[in-house]
């Protein structure tokens, strides 16, 4: 990750944010301040660049970067898992930044919230680019405020946990995905053996 070319983050930014690099000594506080300020400026300017990219990037260049999504929207012809994760996390970062958690907590207060407005206007802009008039966008999120310790307690006590809860535990690092995969393989093998009559 830190070996990639400079972009929104420099190699040094990545190393510092991931803990590979630390600042010590007499000027450490000033160096950390400067690093944070530089990151803020680059993120801000990169976000502003999205307007130019959205409006001016040739469709062919867009396709070379991202690949294609099938006309029905169900198949993505890009095998780059890092890029897919980056897009997912980029959207998550932006949703988090505009306060999506307020909708998840049910604190909307009757009028359109900032995240709803952002999602709606972003979809409208994308629709316009493809020749669609987007008349309405509904944002319906079902979320529960469950902390990792509560999920671990439920798992330990034998309670059922939703697939989303298991995913949350794996993403948080509380469950080792390799162990979960091993358990799933054992279950799959047992089901397969039963079907074969072994």
Per the structure, the complete domain to which residue 155 belongs is given by: 148-196
Cα(151)–Cα(172) distance, integer angstroms = 11
Within-domain flag for 117: no
Quick: pLDDT tens for 20-40: 999 988 899 999 999 999 999
Summarize pLDDT for 98-130 with one digit per residue, the tens.
888 877 777 656 667 888 888 889 999 999 998
pLDDT beyond 60 at 189 = yes
Tell me, yes or no, whether 91 lies in a domain: no
- Which of 56, 84, 102 terminates a domain? The answer is 56
> Which of 56, 77, 93 represents a domain boundary (last residue)?
56
The pLDDT tens digits for 137-171 are 887 777 777 778 888 888 888 888 888 888 888 88
The answer to the question of residue 41 being in a domain is yes
Instruction: Report if residue 39 sits inside a domain.
Output: yes
Q: What pTM was computed for the model?
A: 0.70
| Number of domains, the chain | 2
pLDDT score recorded for residue 198: 58
């Amino acid at each position: 990750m830190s070996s990639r070319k400079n972009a929104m983050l420099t190699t040094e930014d990545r190393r510092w944010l991931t803990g590979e690099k630390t600042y010590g000594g007499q000027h450490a506080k000033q160096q950390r301040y400067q690093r944070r300020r530089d990151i803020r400026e680059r993120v801000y300017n990169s976000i502003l660049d999205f307007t130019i990219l959205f409006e001016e990037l040739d469709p062919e260049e867009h396709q070379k970067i991202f690949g294609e999504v099938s006309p029905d929207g169900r198949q993505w012809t890009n095998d780059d898992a890092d890029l897919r994760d980056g897009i997912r996390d980029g959207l998550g970062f932006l949703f988090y930044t505009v306060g999506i958690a307020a909708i998840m907590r049910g604190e909307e207060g009757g009028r359109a919230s900032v995240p709803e407005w952002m999602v709606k206007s972003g979809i409208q802009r994308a629709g316009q680019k493809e020749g669609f008039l987007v008349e309405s966008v509904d944002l319906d999120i079902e979320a529960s405020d469950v902390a990792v310790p509560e999920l671990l307690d439920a798992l330990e006590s034998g309670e059922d946990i939703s697939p989303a809860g298991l995913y949350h535990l794996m993403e948080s690092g509380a469950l080792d995905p390799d162990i979960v995969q091993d358990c799933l393989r054992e279950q799959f093998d047992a089901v397969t053996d039963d079907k074969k009559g072994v």
